[in-house]
Amino acid sequence: MDNNNDILSRISDQYDKMSKSHKAIAKFISGHYDQAVFMTAAKLGETLGISESTVVRFADRVGYAGYPEFQRALEECVKGKLSNIQKMDAKYGKSTQSEVLTSVLAADIEKLQHTIDNLDPAAFESAVETILAADTIYIMGLRSNGPLAEFLHFYLNMIRGGVMLLNTTSVSETFEQMIRINENDCFIGISFPRYSMRTLKAMEFASDRNAKVIALTDSTHSPMSLYSSCNLLARSDMVSIVDSLVAPLSVINALVVALCMRSPKDVKHNLEMLEETWNNYQVYLNDEINFIDNEPILDYSLHRK
């Protein structure tokens, strides 16, 4: 092929002559090529409500010898899109510093509103119930998603025991840490574009072991939804060298608050034990302890009388 975007050019050139089903495929791939690249022909067909054979014929229609060749071309297309630096320069190149600040904050607000409008309350409630009922909770988020996973792990560990953060860079070690996962456990996978194949494989392993799988991701078309029974969706994309984690972090905050409201006595007990431990082992100087007294569900007097 002459260039990395050739597959999209082929689709665009032939769009007007396509059947209704083929146009549906073309629209989805043009708008979601970064998600479609992970999909088999069967999964793409299932997502669009058409047959696998129709998807295969589409690949042939736009000039590829079968779906595997079509998918490889799609991979090249994803690799060849504008770099993040180029995208950032196109959007912010002529902006002042204050305009950049305003633009980024406005974009984050828009992502929060999009998340509010599209988050499924039933899925959120299901996630809370699943976490409460699980014997052990496994959490995984890699690269830029790592801080989200660490944040969730920190606060879940304050609420309850049996919380494990999977943060190794070794695929084999990931499976070793998960070797005892079973139907009584819960796996929380956090991944946003570019999606992590290691996180996806860990979610597949958890699903194969009949564990409850929760995905925190950006779309129902995310490959993370392949193995999850509960999807918490948050908008994260941004034209920048960094991903916007504001909306995903807000969803995690809501999850933690909901869990605290369901187990207020356990939370109070755990916090009291923590403070006693800090005092006994002089972890903090007295003038450095910063209690969160104004949080409604954590408004407990931790000082013993």
Beta strands of the chain (E only): which ranges?
A: 137-141, 163-166, 186-190, 212-217, 230-233
Angle between the 246-262 and 121-133 helix axes, to the nearest 10 degrees?
60
**pLDDT at res. 80:** 58
C-alpha–C-alpha distance, residues 219 and 4, integer Å: 25
Whole-structure pTM value: 0.62
Note the pLDDT of residue 89: 54
Give the span between the Cα atoms of 74 and 85, in whole angstroms. 22
Q: Which two tokens stand for residue 206?
A: 């958890």
| H/E run at residue 104 | helix 97-118
Instruction: Give pLDDT, residue 91.
Output: 52
The length of the chain is 305
The reported pLDDT for the residue numbered 103 is 74
pLDDT at 8: 77
Dihedral pair phi/psi, residue 46, rounded to 5°: -65, -40
pLDDT for 5 equals 46
The CA distance from 42 to 57, in Å, is 12
**Domains of the chain with CATH codes:** 6-80 (1.10.10.10), 105-262 (3.40.50.10490), 264-298 (no CATH)
Q: What is the DSSP letter of 5?
A: T
pLDDT in tens, the chain (305 residues): 334 347 877 887 788 889 999 999 988 887 777 778 878 899 899 999 999 999 999 999 988 988 988 988 888 776 655 455 445 554 555 567 677 788 778 878 888 988 998 889 999 999 999 999 999 999 999 888 999 999 999 989 888 889 999 987 777 888 999 999 999 999 999 998 878 889 999 999 999 999 999 999 988 878 888 889 899 999 886 545 566 889 999 999 999 989 888 877 777 777 777 777 767 766 565 544 455 554 444 444 444 44
d(CA 131, CA 121): 16
End-to-end alpha-carbon separation of the chain, Å? 76
Provide Rg for the chain, Cα atoms: 23
Contacts of 231 (CB under 8 A, 6+ apart): 120, 123, 214, 215, 217, 220, 222, 224, 225
Q: Can you tell me whether residue 214 is helix, strand or coil?
A: strand
